[in-house]
């Protein structure tokens, strides 16, 4: 790609960024980075752009080291250069994040609308629909780069080309992307948008779904963590209640921050909510220590706020807590308790895993553990069996 072509690509990418709704600040950063790249190429007499040239530019101009975790600023610069490289190779750009507006070519819109309606009809929640839209947008971007202007023009060659297009993603993301493409092509074949059903030609990407054993903490570890919380101040009262909801009931971070007053049924001693991840209703007993901690926070710790969420920030404006703050909260207390070891997770999910492990040790049946953790099926919960080899052997013997 010559410098002239680089400048043209930069203009095209800028138009794409504006179209899909990136912020003015992001586009300004893109403009400045690519301006520096052109100056770098001019200074060194480089006539052709490649991703290697881009990495050299980052290393010499911005001290980027590929062996180290990049700063957020350098990560953005690297993404800009990857965009240039992707356009050079495929004539399109892979969206890496869920931008606000999903761009669907006009000739694909009718089929896409029908496909998404089918997904909703079979019970796919809106949060998952947005992920499907992202995967389809990547597929459509690739097709546009191959001058495919109608669904009926899609061929097996395009499917194979798309495999190369997404090679930079993890195997898990690639597998999920291809599954969506497979489902979309099956819909198009069955509903007359394509003369053939090409879904059988979309391969699976195999990866080890159970490669990692979840991090867990013992009952004593959890008690040590809880004892560190200073419950004599308002923030401590809030944090203690949050930690109990995660460690005693196994709630996910987003469900904790979204917990509202109407989700707690004090007379019946239960909590009932719609899970953010699955969209399924989850009902759990309101354990005595959990209930008392929540009451203590509401009566003596929670600042006055119009927010309907139980847990709020303790700095103005007193609005809802965010999930990332839950991670920081849990991680901080795990660190203070001295529970960190190499390779061990330190977030709220580790507390969920720990609860599953304890339930398993108490011989709680797997379907019951699935219900407590809010899993859609026991296959998801089965990963926790890897924590306790003795229980895994018992299960294997029972099956035999």
Which of the following is catalytic: 61, 79, 277, 313? Answer: 277
Which of the following is catalytic: 252, 302, 345, 346? Answer: 252
> How many CA within 13 A on the CB side of residue 132?
20
Q: Are 387 and 360 in contact, with CB atoms under 8 Å apart?
A: yes
Q: Are 241 and 293 in contact, with CB atoms under 8 Å apart?
A: yes
How far is the C-alpha of 159 from the C-alpha of 199, rounded, in Å? 10
349 carries an active-site annotation: yes
Q: Provide CB contacts within 8 A for 265, sequence distance 6+.
A: 271, 272, 286
Which stretches within 91-218 are classed as H helix?
A: 109-121, 126-145, 156-165, 171-190
Exposure letters 134-159 (e unless 16+ CB within 10 A, then b): bbbbbbbbbbbbbebeebeebeeebb
Is-cis flag, bond preceding 367, omega within 30?
no
Would you call 304 helix, strand, or coil by DSSP?
Answer: coil
CB count, 10 Å around CB of 82? 16
Which stretches within 250-385 are classed as H helix?
A: 253-257, 288-300, 323-336, 348-361, 366-373, 378-381
254 carries an active-site annotation: no
358 carries an active-site annotation: no
Which of the following is catalytic: 231, 248, 345, 352? Answer: 352
In this structure, which long-range contacts are made by residues 159-163, counting pairs with CB atoms below 8 Å and at least 24 apart in sequence?
Answer: 159/198, 159/201, 159/202, 161/90, 163/203
176 carries an active-site annotation: no
375 carries an active-site annotation: yes
Active-site residue list:
252, 277, 349, 352, 375, 384
């Amino acid at each position: 790609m010559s410098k002239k072509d680089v400048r043209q690509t930069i203009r095209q990418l800028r138009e794409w960024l504006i179209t899909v709704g990136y912020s003015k600040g992001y586009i300004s950063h893109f403009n400045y980075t690519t301006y520096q790249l052109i100056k770098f190429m001019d200074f060194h007499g480089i006539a052709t752009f490649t991703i290697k040239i881009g990495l050299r530019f980052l290393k010499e101009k911005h001290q980027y080291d590929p062996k180290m975790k990049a700063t957020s600023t350098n990560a953005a610069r690297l993404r800009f250069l990857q965009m240039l490289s992707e356009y050079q190779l495929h004539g399109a750009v892979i969206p890496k994040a869920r931008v606000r507006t999903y761009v669907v070519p006009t000739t694909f819109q009718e089929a896409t609308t029908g496909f998404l309606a089918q997904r909703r009809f079979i019970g796919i929640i809106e949060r998952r629909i947005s992920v499907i839209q992202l995967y389809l947008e990547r597929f459509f971007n690739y097709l546009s780069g191959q001058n495919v202007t109608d669904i009926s023009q899609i061929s097996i060659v395009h499917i194979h080309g798309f495999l190369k297009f997404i090679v930079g993603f993890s195997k898990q993301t690639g597998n999920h992307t291809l599954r969506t493409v497979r489902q979309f092509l099956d819909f198009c074949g069955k509903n007359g948008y394509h003369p053939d059903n090409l879904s059988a030609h979309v391969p699976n990407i195999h990866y080890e779904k159970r490669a990692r054993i979840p991090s867990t903490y013992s009952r004593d570890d959890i008690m040590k963590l809880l004892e560190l919380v200073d419950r004599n101040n308002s923030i401590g009262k809030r944090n203690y209640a949050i930690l109990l909801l995660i460690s005693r009931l196994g709630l996910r971070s987003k469900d904790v921050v979204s917990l509202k007053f109407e989700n707690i049924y004090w007379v019946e001693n239960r909590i009932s909510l719609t899970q953010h991840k699955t969209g399924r209703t989850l009902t759990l007993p309101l354990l005595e220590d959990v209930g008392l901690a929540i009451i203590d926070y509401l009566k003596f710790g929670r600042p006055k706020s119009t927010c309907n969420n139980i847990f709020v920030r303790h700095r103005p404006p007193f609005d809802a807590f965010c999930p990332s703050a839950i991670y920081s909260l849990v991680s901080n207390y795990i660190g203070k308790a001295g529970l960190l070891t190499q390779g061990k997770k330190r977030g709220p999910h580790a507390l969920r895993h720990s609860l599953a492990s304890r339930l398993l040790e108490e011989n709680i049946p797997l379907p019951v553990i699935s219900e407590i953790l809010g899993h859609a099926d026991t296959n998801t919960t089965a990963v926790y069996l890897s924590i306790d080899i003795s229980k895994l052997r018992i299960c294997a013997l029972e099956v035999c």
